[in-house]
Every structure is written in structure tokens, then in C-alpha cells.
Structure 1
Amino acid sequence: MVYFHTDYLQVEHHQSANVLITQWYGGCSSLQYRQALIQVIRIIKELQVTNAVLDRRLLKPISPDDLNWTTTVYAKAYTRLPLKKIAVINSFNQETERQQQQLYALLKTCIEVRTFDDLTSAYDWLTAVPA
């Protein structure tokens, strides 16, 4: 089910596996970026999501102020969520990827994070039944 959709981001929840998928479609304003991430946090809390795919392939680089906000305010809020595993799909943009690695390094302290090049592999890792 799609919970949030704009020109730059779509957030959908796969209820059967309790997986949230966020897919960025490009750049947006600073305000839109921050509001979108706050909305993602609200959805995760409301649905008690334990696994998420962060598809950042098309996300554009963010401003230094937004990067600081992401690695301080947003990262701190993210660590309080019920998330157990996050599958990250690498960005096509090298600068975006470098920026996002700062966030993932912070999240790895309390959430299992792995990176992937495609959505199928990311989703499969999240939904695999442990042996």
C-alpha cells in the first residue's frame, strides 16, 4: 500500500512482510526533503515497521545544512524506531552516496544495515527466513 507519494519520493508498505520501501525519484527543496523524512518516521512508528528498503538511487546531493540535520536530528530519531534491518540501495550519484554513507555509519550502531545495487536483492535479504 502506498502511504506517501510526491514527484520526488514514494513510500509504500508491504504488510505481509512488514517492509517499508522508500524510493527517491530526484531532488527536492530543503523543506520538502525534511518534511518527507519526518513523514517516513511517522509511518514507521504508526505501522511498527521492523524492516525497510531505502532506495536512494535517484536522490540528488543535499545541502550541507540538510546533511547536518540528517546526521544529527534525523539519525537520532531513526534510532528510536522499531527497525531491526535496513537495506540501502546505493545512489547513482557519487556525491549523494558519500553524503548518505555518513547517515548509514550512524545507524549501523543500533540497526543492521546492508547495501545493495537493486531492489530485488534488498527485499530478498529483508524477507529471508533465517536457517
Structure 2
Amino acid sequence: MVYFQTDYLQVEHHHTGNVLITQWYGGCSSLQYRQALINVIRIARELQVHCVVLDRRLLKPVSEDDLHWTCTIYAKAYAKLPLKKLAVIHSFDNETERQQQQLNAHIGTYIETRSFDDLTSAYDWVISVPV
């Protein structure tokens, strides 16, 4: 079921496995980026998801201010969710991938995190062992 959809992001919930999938379709403004991530937190909290797949292949790099916000404010809120597994799909953009690695360093201390090249492998991993 799709919970949130824009030109740049779709968030869907797969009831089987209680998995949240976020798929970025490109860049967006700073305000849109932050509001989208706040919506992801709200949806994950509301659904009490234990597994998330972040498909960031098409996401463009964010500003340094947005990266700092993501690694501090967002990461702290993310850590308070009941998440057990986070699968991240590598970005096609090298700078976006570098930024994701920074975020993983903050989030990975709270949640089991792995990186993948495709959505199928990422999804299979998060549902492979019940949490």
C-alpha cells in the first residue's frame, strides 16, 4: 500500500513482513527533502515497522546543511523507531553514496544495516529472518 507519493519519493508498506520501502526518484528542495523524511518517520512509527528498504539509486546529493540535519536530527528520530533491519540500495551518484555512508555510520549503531545493488536482494534480506 502506498502511503506517501510525490514526484521525488514514494513510500509504500508491505503488510507481509511489515516492511517499509522508500524509493527516491530524483532531487528535491531542502524543504521537500526534510518534510519527506519527517513523513517517513511518522509512517514508520504509525505502522510500527521493523524493516525498511531505502532505495536511493536516483536521489541527488543533498546540501551540507541537509546532510548535517539528516545525520543528527533525523538519525536520532530514526533510532527511536522499533526498527531492526535497514537495507540501503546504493545510489547511482557517487556523492549521494558518500553521504549515505555518513548517515549509515550514525544509524548503523542502532539498527542492523546492509547495502545492496538492487531492490530484490535488499527486500529478500530484510524478510529473510524474522525480527
TM over 0.5: yes
Q: Are 1:8 and 2:8 counterparts?
A: yes
- Structure 1 residue identity aligned to 2:90: N
Equivalent positions of 1:1-131 (< 5 A) are: 1-129=1-129
Per-residue deviation, 1:83: 0.4
3-state SS in 2 of match to 1:36: helix
CA-to-partner distance for each residue in 1:72-101, whole Å, 9 max, x for gaps?
A: 100011000010000000000000000111
Normalising by structure 2, we get a TM-score of: 0.98
Q: 1:16 Cα deviation (Å)?
A: 1.3
The superposition leaves residues 40-59 of structure 1 with CA deviations (integer Å, 9 ceiling, x where unpaired) of 00000000000000000000
Q: Quick one: which amino acid aligns to residue 64 of structure 2? A: P
TM-score for the superposition, normalised by structure 1: 0.98
CA distance in 1, matches of 2:43, 2:25: 19
Amino acid at match of 2:111: I
Aligned partner letter, 2:127: T
Counterpart Cα distance in 2 of 1:49 and 1:129 = 15
Rounded Cα–Cα distance in structure 1 between residues aligned with 2:100 and 2:70: 9
The one-letter amino acid of 1:83's match is L
Structure 2 unaligned blocks of 5 or more: none
Identical residues among aligned pairs (%)? 76
CA distance in 2, matches of 1:69, 1:128: 32
Offset at residue 129 of structure 1 (A): 3.4
Q: CA deviation at 1:69?
A: 0.3
SS at match of 2:11: strand
RMSD of equivalent CA atoms: 0.7
5+ long unaligned stretches in structure 1: none
